[in-house]
Amino acid sequence: MNVLMIHGIGQEASTKDELLQKWTDSLHSNQLGLLDGALVEMAYYGTTLADWTNGKAKNAVGMGAESTTVDVGDADELKFLSAVMNEFASDHGIEEAEIEAAIEAAGNSAVPMDNLIARRLVGLLRVIEKISPAKGSLLLRVIRQGHTYLSSPGAAKAVDGIVRPLLQRSPQVLITHSLGTVIAFKLLREMEATGTEVHIPLLITMGSPLGLDAFKAKLGVPRRKPAFVKQWINFYDPSDFVALGKPLNEDNFAININNDGTVDNKTFNAHGIVGYLPHKGVIDALKRVL
């Protein structure tokens, strides 16, 4: 059986082989030899997307305690970032007064006074960072790279050019995480639309932002399980700052996707891949197919 792993954001400091070893070790920590006999590949796009994301910001400004930068001159990016942050604030009961106080505390030096969207984004992020600086910074990085992939034709072409050929193998099990779930869904939908014949007995998504409104708006329709995917299982930790605790069900995304929200991801941000792969549901799903 072919097995393709598609990683998430922030992996530019790792090599393809390092990630493959990390994912394999995480699975084998709970089921020794699980992947023995399988042809396993890692779709590595880490440095490619990071270069596109970091290279396009010309008017960069630090947004929050860890100084993750965004381009305040890119209105589309700011709206995308703000949409996700607003969804987070709404889901977590953050009051408007808290956001206004954070904007006031940030002062007038963070972004220009007349850039109201950017100023509110600063406030939103700083409120989130009061909950957890590391998680707030992580959320912003995921959103930025997600926006770059979904909005920049050049970035999408570069990343898709790496991942698409690997999706042509058949039959194949897909194991995807974070932004990797978005890339996989987008390409699988394109493959179905063009009549590409592949057989995917199992698609696993973990920590997926596909259920977030901003991502759904960028992806557009249709949103459904591709016909050549026999089973799609989505795993999420309710505390995962990237998935915002949202299952990929009929209300949030599409029908015919099985969701498992029993994951207790013990990584510091409840999003790390090593906190997802050893989960019993993931192991059992892979055992049934492999």
pLDDT tens-digit map of 64-94: 444 455 555 567 777 887 788 888 888 878 8
Provide the 3-class DSSP secondary structure of residue 171.
coil
Q: Read off the amino acid at residue 282.
A: V
Over the stretch 89-104, which tens digit does the pLDDT of each residue have? Answer: 888 788 888 877 876 7
CA 16 to chain centre: 18
Each residue's pLDDT tens digit, 211-230 = 999 899 999 999 999 999 99
Mean pLDDT of 228-250: 93
* pLDDT for 260 beyond 90: yes
As a whole number of angstroms, the distance between CA 68 and CA 2 comes to: 37
Least confident of 135-144, 157-166, 176-185, 275-284: 135-144
Q: What is the pTM of this model?
A: 0.86
pLDDT at 248 > cutoff 80: yes
Q: Closest Cα to residue 118, out of 68, 64, 66, 82?
A: 82
pLDDT at 70: 56
What average pLDDT does the structure give for the chain? 86
Name the CA radius of gyration of the chain, rounded. 19
Distance CA(18)–CA(24), nearest Å, equals: 10
- pLDDT, average across residues 159-173: 96
CA distances (Å), 189 to each of 7, 42, 45, 114, 228, in order?
Answer: 18, 20, 19, 40, 10
Residue 113 has pLDDT above 90, yes or no: no
Query: Sorting pLDDT into bands at 50, 70 and 90, what band is 62?
Result: very low
Q: How much is the pLDDT for 78? A: 78
Q: Is pLDDT above 80 for 12?
A: yes
The pLDDT of 162-186, averaged and rounded, is: 97
CA distance 147 to 76: 9
User: Taking 90 as the threshold, does the pLDDT of residue 55 lie above it?
Assistant: no
What pLDDT does 107 receive? 60
